[in-house]
Amino acid sequence: MNTDARATANPRTDEAAPQAPATLEGFLAGVGTRAFRFAEAGLRHREDAMDAVQEAMMKMLAYRERPAQEWTPLFWSILRSRIIDTQRRRTFRLGWLGNSPPGGEDSSLDWADDGPDPSRAHDGQEAYGRLLEALRGLPRRQREAFTLRVLEEFDVADTARIMDCSEGSVKTHLSRARAALQRQLEDFA
Protein backbone atom coordinates (compact mmCIF):
# COMPACT_ATOMS: atom_id res chain seq x y z
CA MET A 1 0.00 0.00 0.00
CA ASN A 2 1.47 3.34 -0.96
CA THR A 3 1.54 6.42 1.24
CA ASP A 4 -1.45 8.08 -0.45
CA ALA A 5 -3.57 4.97 -0.02
CA ARG A 6 -2.73 4.79 3.69
CA ALA A 7 -3.63 8.44 4.18
CA THR A 8 -7.03 8.00 2.55
CA ALA A 9 -7.66 4.63 4.20
CA ASN A 10 -7.70 6.14 7.68
CA PRO A 11 -8.92 9.75 7.53
CA ARG A 12 -9.26 9.90 11.34
CA THR A 13 -5.50 10.06 11.81
CA ASP A 14 -5.52 13.58 10.39
CA GLU A 15 -8.39 14.58 12.66
CA ALA A 16 -6.74 13.17 15.79
CA ALA A 17 -3.50 15.07 15.30
CA PRO A 18 -3.76 18.55 16.86
CA GLN A 19 -3.30 21.37 14.40
CA ALA A 20 -0.43 23.69 15.21
CA PRO A 21 -1.28 27.39 14.87
CA ALA A 22 -0.06 28.96 11.65
CA THR A 23 1.60 31.91 13.40
CA LEU A 24 3.43 32.42 16.64
CA GLU A 25 0.91 35.10 17.58
CA GLY A 26 -1.90 32.55 17.17
CA PHE A 27 -0.02 30.09 19.36
CA LEU A 28 0.57 32.69 22.08
CA ALA A 29 -3.07 33.80 21.99
CA GLY A 30 -4.19 30.21 22.47
CA VAL A 31 -1.85 29.40 25.33
CA GLY A 32 -2.22 32.63 27.35
CA THR A 33 -5.01 31.65 29.75
CA ARG A 34 -3.54 28.25 30.58
CA ALA A 35 -0.09 29.78 31.03
CA PHE A 36 -1.50 32.36 33.43
CA ARG A 37 -3.18 29.66 35.55
CA PHE A 38 0.09 27.72 35.65
CA ALA A 39 2.07 30.79 36.66
CA GLU A 40 -0.48 31.87 39.25
CA ALA A 41 -0.41 28.44 40.88
CA GLY A 42 3.37 28.63 41.13
CA LEU A 43 3.73 32.26 42.16
CA ARG A 44 0.56 32.76 44.23
CA HIS A 45 0.32 36.34 43.06
CA ARG A 46 -1.69 37.60 40.09
CA GLU A 47 0.61 40.45 39.04
CA ASP A 48 3.75 38.32 39.26
CA ALA A 49 1.99 35.62 37.22
CA MET A 50 0.97 38.13 34.54
CA ASP A 51 4.54 39.46 34.40
CA ALA A 52 6.01 35.94 34.08
CA VAL A 53 3.64 35.03 31.25
CA GLN A 54 4.29 38.29 29.46
CA GLU A 55 8.06 37.86 29.77
CA ALA A 56 7.82 34.29 28.45
CA MET A 57 5.73 35.44 25.50
CA MET A 58 8.20 38.22 24.69
CA LYS A 59 11.08 35.75 24.83
CA MET A 60 9.20 33.43 22.45
CA LEU A 61 9.24 36.13 19.78
CA ALA A 62 12.95 35.41 19.34
CA TYR A 63 12.03 31.83 18.34
CA ARG A 64 9.52 32.81 15.64
CA GLU A 65 11.53 30.98 12.96
CA ARG A 66 11.52 27.68 14.85
CA PRO A 67 9.12 24.99 13.60
CA ALA A 68 5.63 25.24 15.11
CA GLN A 69 6.00 21.78 16.69
CA GLU A 70 8.77 23.13 18.93
CA TRP A 71 6.80 26.11 20.23
CA THR A 72 4.80 24.29 22.92
CA PRO A 73 7.63 22.65 24.90
CA LEU A 74 9.83 25.69 24.33
CA PHE A 75 7.23 28.13 25.63
CA TRP A 76 6.47 26.06 28.73
CA SER A 77 10.18 25.68 29.49
CA ILE A 78 10.66 29.43 29.22
CA LEU A 79 7.62 30.11 31.41
CA ARG A 80 8.81 27.63 34.03
CA SER A 81 12.21 29.36 34.10
CA ARG A 82 10.53 32.76 34.54
CA ILE A 83 8.46 31.43 37.44
CA ILE A 84 11.54 29.99 39.15
CA ASP A 85 13.44 33.26 38.61
CA THR A 86 10.58 35.23 40.15
CA GLN A 87 10.43 32.87 43.12
CA ARG A 88 14.18 33.21 43.66
CA ARG A 89 14.06 37.02 43.43
CA ARG A 90 11.18 37.11 45.89
CA THR A 91 12.98 34.80 48.33
CA PHE A 92 16.15 36.86 48.10
CA ARG A 93 14.29 40.14 48.52
CA LEU A 94 12.33 38.88 51.50
CA GLY A 95 15.40 37.37 53.11
CA TRP A 96 17.37 40.53 52.52
CA LEU A 97 14.72 42.78 53.97
CA GLY A 98 13.94 40.41 56.83
CA ASN A 99 10.22 40.48 56.08
CA SER A 100 7.88 37.54 56.02
CA PRO A 101 6.09 36.60 52.80
CA PRO A 102 3.01 38.67 52.06
CA GLY A 103 0.32 36.43 53.52
CA GLY A 104 -2.02 39.23 54.43
CA GLU A 105 -2.71 40.48 50.96
CA ASP A 106 -5.71 39.25 49.06
CA SER A 107 -4.60 36.33 46.90
CA SER A 108 -8.10 35.17 46.06
CA LEU A 109 -9.14 34.65 42.48
CA ASP A 110 -11.46 36.96 40.60
CA TRP A 111 -14.32 34.80 39.47
CA ALA A 112 -16.68 35.84 36.71
CA ASP A 113 -20.11 34.29 37.15
CA ASP A 114 -21.22 33.92 33.56
CA GLY A 115 -22.98 30.58 34.06
CA PRO A 116 -26.74 30.21 34.15
CA ASP A 117 -26.75 28.39 37.50
CA PRO A 118 -25.11 30.39 40.30
CA SER A 119 -24.98 27.47 42.74
CA ARG A 120 -23.20 25.24 40.21
CA ALA A 121 -20.81 28.04 39.34
CA HIS A 122 -20.11 28.58 43.04
CA ASP A 123 -19.43 24.86 43.54
CA GLY A 124 -17.03 24.89 40.60
CA GLN A 125 -15.27 27.96 41.92
CA GLU A 126 -14.98 26.42 45.35
CA ALA A 127 -13.62 23.16 43.92
CA TYR A 128 -11.08 25.01 41.77
CA GLY A 129 -10.09 27.17 44.74
CA ARG A 130 -9.52 24.08 46.89
CA LEU A 131 -7.52 22.41 44.14
CA LEU A 132 -5.42 25.55 43.74
CA GLU A 133 -4.77 25.73 47.48
CA ALA A 134 -3.85 22.03 47.57
CA LEU A 135 -1.52 22.53 44.59
CA ARG A 136 0.15 25.44 46.36
CA GLY A 137 0.93 23.14 49.27
CA LEU A 138 2.85 20.71 47.06
CA PRO A 139 6.59 20.91 46.50
CA ARG A 140 7.44 22.82 43.33
CA ARG A 141 8.44 19.81 41.19
CA GLN A 142 5.30 17.87 42.15
CA ARG A 143 3.12 20.90 41.40
CA GLU A 144 4.77 21.34 38.01
CA ALA A 145 4.43 17.67 37.09
CA PHE A 146 0.75 17.59 38.07
CA THR A 147 -0.09 20.83 36.31
CA LEU A 148 1.71 19.96 33.09
CA ARG A 149 0.57 16.32 32.89
CA VAL A 150 -2.98 16.51 34.25
CA LEU A 151 -4.20 20.06 33.74
CA GLU A 152 -2.28 20.90 30.56
CA GLU A 153 -2.37 17.29 29.27
CA PHE A 154 1.22 17.14 28.04
CA ASP A 155 2.65 13.68 27.50
CA VAL A 156 5.47 12.38 29.70
CA ALA A 157 8.18 13.17 27.15
CA ASP A 158 7.13 16.80 26.68
CA THR A 159 6.70 17.26 30.42
CA ALA A 160 10.22 15.90 30.99
CA ARG A 161 11.61 18.33 28.40
CA ILE A 162 9.77 21.26 29.97
CA MET A 163 10.85 20.34 33.50
CA ASP A 164 14.39 19.47 32.34
CA CYS A 165 14.39 16.06 33.98
CA SER A 166 13.96 12.40 33.07
CA GLU A 167 10.64 10.79 32.23
CA GLY A 168 11.03 8.61 35.32
CA SER A 169 11.31 11.72 37.49
CA VAL A 170 8.13 13.12 35.96
CA LYS A 171 6.29 9.89 36.78
CA THR A 172 7.61 9.90 40.35
CA HIS A 173 6.70 13.56 40.95
CA LEU A 174 3.26 13.01 39.43
CA SER A 175 2.58 9.94 41.54
CA ARG A 176 3.57 11.75 44.72
CA ALA A 177 1.50 14.81 43.75
CA ARG A 178 -1.59 12.70 43.09
CA ALA A 179 -1.23 10.90 46.41
CA ALA A 180 -0.80 14.17 48.32
CA LEU A 181 -3.73 15.83 46.53
CA GLN A 182 -5.95 12.83 47.14
CA ARG A 183 -5.18 12.98 50.87
CA GLN A 184 -5.85 16.73 50.99
CA LEU A 185 -9.00 16.70 48.89
CA GLU A 186 -10.73 13.48 49.98
CA ASP A 187 -12.78 15.32 52.62
CA PHE A 188 -14.04 17.78 49.99
CA ALA A 189 -15.42 15.15 47.61
Could you tell me which residues come within 8 angstroms of residue 37 by beta carbon, excluding any fewer than 6 positions away? 151
90 CA to centre of own chain: 20
Q: How many domains does the chain have?
A: 2
Residue 182 within a domain: yes
* pLDDT tens figures, 90-139: 776 665 555 444 444 444 444 444 445 555 555 667 777 788 888 888 99
Shared domain for 91 and 143, answered yes or no, is no
CATH number for the domain that contains residue 181: 1.10.10.10
Examine the domain organization and report whether 92 and 42 are in the same domain: yes
77 lies in a domain? yes
Which domain range does residue 77 map to? 21-99
CA atoms within 13 A on the CB side of 166: 3
Q: Is residue 47 pLDDT above 60, yes or no? A: yes
Tell whether 129 and 74 lie within a shared domain: no
Please tell me which residue, 148 or 97, carries the higher pLDDT value: 148
Are 77 and 164 spatial neighbours (Cβ–Cβ below 8 Å)? yes
The more confidently predicted of residues 26 and 123 is 26
Q: Is 5 domain-assigned? A: no
> Does 47 reside within a domain?
yes
Question: Is 12 within the bounds of a domain?
Answer: no
Indicate if the pLDDT at residue 181 is higher than 70: yes
In this prediction, residues 155-181 reach a mean pLDDT of: 93
Among residues 99, 127, 156, which one ends one of the domains? 99
pLDDT higher for 157 or 121?
157
If asked whether residues 156 and 128 sit together in one domain, one would say yes
- Whether residue 108 is contained in a domain is answered as no
pLDDT at residue 121, rounded to an integer:
57
CB within 8 A of 178, min separation 6: which ones? 146
Mean pLDDT confidence for 54-80: 92
